[in-house]
Structure 1
Amino acid sequence: MINYMELPLRGKEKAIFFLCIITAGLAVGILFYDSLAVSAVTAALLLMAMPQYKEKVVRKHQQELLMQFKDLLYSISASVSSGRNMADALAESKVFCGGSYEKSDYIMIELDHMTAMLSNGNETDTEVLYDFARRSGLSDAEDFARVYENCKASGANLNHAIEEAVRIIGDKIELENELKSQLAQKIFEGRIVGASPFLIVLMIRLTAPDYIKPMTESTQGLIITTIAVGLMAVSLLMTERINKIEI
């Protein structure tokens, strides 16, 4: 089954990455140095960002799965409240989620797997929930599995416990999603600011190319340009680091 912590990059995602580094390499080399050699070196250096890009893509897929998992929780809560056990609740959730998601969506793939494992008797419902939590890397999925396990072991009111757990986890997911949306806006603004020097230099090259010649034809100009490009790179890296903040 899918290990969401180690998802391979899809063809489209790889194409986007290589297109971005080629574009960035050309932008730095042509705009700031007027050199294709610098473009090639810059693109080669940016290849080292592949692990960071893959990590970002994995977080994106996990966020997609998290929002789908939230819908699954509400379906499980409704089924358990009506007297169903966990195996039946997952089977009903497969029908419920099927009305909103495609067969290729992560949550539908997982529900197919979980119901198949339970029907074959290969694993218990608790083991199935923990397996999903481990592969998904979602702390909320692990919290739900732990609540369910503790309720079964202690003989507590399962309906009430699951209802409360789903409510708390659902509210937490909604809050995190709202905060991430606000954070994404700030990151987008930071990227716009980071791209502005490229646009300014492009405008100067188009309207007054002689004005920028000293920056590419003298040693002092090349040093100043390199320092400026380095500072821009640092600012962009700091902006991207914000995206890694765990809420």
Structure 2
Amino acid sequence: MDYRKYQCNLWERLGCVVAGIILTAAISWLFYRSWYGMVLVIPVNYLIVSYYKKKKKDERAKKLMIEFRDAIQSVAAALLAGYSIENAWKEAEREVMGLYGKEAMITQELIRMNTEIKLNRNVEEILHDLATRSGVEEIESFAEIFGFAKRSGGDFAGIIRTTAMRISAKIEVEREVDTVIAGKKLEGKIMSVMPFLILTYLNLASKEFIDPLYGNLSGVFVMSAALLIFAGATAINRRISDIKV
């Protein structure tokens, strides 16, 4: 599996399409009072699908990083118990399967890894392949250090423990950051829906107040400009709150 790409299943695609249609219909009515605004359904759907794929890919990468940390901790423990480096990965497979189940990403990767080890493929080559497909910086760094240590006869157990500690530290920092900015993210989500709520209120309670903005070319320009400013502000807000550690 290439973890750098996320493929939506049928239900996810249908969900994104429905969300895009609903959002486009809201934009058409609130900003233009015309179904001609439904021509935006294609770009809106594209943006929703792109955002959803990125979100799911990032979530999967974080989950893979946590599972990989637990796997290499098992490898380090097996090495200290006297296992060879090849057998240590087999022992890690057994422990990870008990921890996460057979369908977990890291379990499947370890099953694949141990199968290829039996076919006399080098461990560092297998790790390098996983690192490339994962797109996770910590796994890529570990694969490079592991390959260098294997060629030069380094302390595998020490290297693996150090890597696991660094991954754990990063996970903890990310959790602390998420806790600190959780309130700001909520504020951003509220601000994202406020223009729709305000326009809905004005259309229902003070329709004559905003009637001049509809049904004429100047009104289309004004509302289009407002929509673009709103979309840009939403994008900036998401980028600011998406802090990478």
Farther off after superposition, 3-12 or 176-185: 176-185
Q: Partner of 1:78: helix, strand, or coil?
A: helix
Distance 1:88 1:139 in 2: 26
Distance 1:101 1:23 in 2: 38
Distance 2:175 2:116 in 1: 31
Q: Partner of 1:217: helix, strand, or coil?
A: coil
Structure 1 alignment gaps of length 5 or more = none
Contact 2:6 2:54 in 1 (8 A): no
Question: Is 2:92 the counterpart of 1:93?
Answer: yes
Distance 1:70 1:19 in 2: 38
1:56-205 to 2 correspondence within 5 Å?
A: 56-121=55-120, 123-180=121-178, 182-183=180-181, 186-205=184-203
Other-structure match for 2:224? 226
Q: Partner of 2:189: helix, strand, or coil?
A: helix
1:210 to 208, 211, 228: 208
TM normalised by structure 1 equals 0.86
Contact 2:65 2:167 in 1 (8 A): no
Query: What letter corresponds to residue 103 of structure 2 in structure 1?
Result: S
Query: What letter corresponds to residue 19 of structure 1 in structure 2?
Result: V
TM normalised by structure 2 equals 0.87
CA RMSD of aligned residues (A): 2.3
Query: What letter corresponds to residue 228 of structure 1 in structure 2?
Result: A
Contact 2:124 2:147 in 1 (8 A): yes
Query: What letter corresponds to residue 188 of structure 2 in structure 1?
Result: G
- C-alpha deviation, 1:8, in angstroms: 2.0
Q: Percent identity?
A: 27
Query: What letter corresponds to residue 237 of structure 2 in structure 1?
Result: T
| Aligned structure 1 segments of 4 or more residues deviating by more than 4 angstroms | 50-53, 180-185
- C-alpha deviation, 1:174, in angstroms: 2.8
Distance 1:146 1:133 in 2: 9
Distance 2:72 2:187 in 1: 34
Structure 2 alignment gaps of length 5 or more = none
Query: What letter corresponds to residue 137 of structure 1 in structure 2?
Result: G
- C-alpha deviation, 1:86, in angstroms: 2.6
User: Judging changes above 3 Å, is the alpha-carbon distance between structure 1 residues 161 and 14 closer, same or farther for their aligned structure 2 residues?
Assistant: same
User: Judging changes above 3 Å, is the alpha-carbon distance between structure 1 residues 3 and 243 closer, same or farther for their aligned structure 2 residues?
Assistant: farther
> How many residue pairs align between the two structures?
244
After superposition, what is the alpha-carbon deviation per residue over 1:165-205, rounded to whole angstroms, capped at 9, x for unaligned?
32223222332344355456534432321211101111222
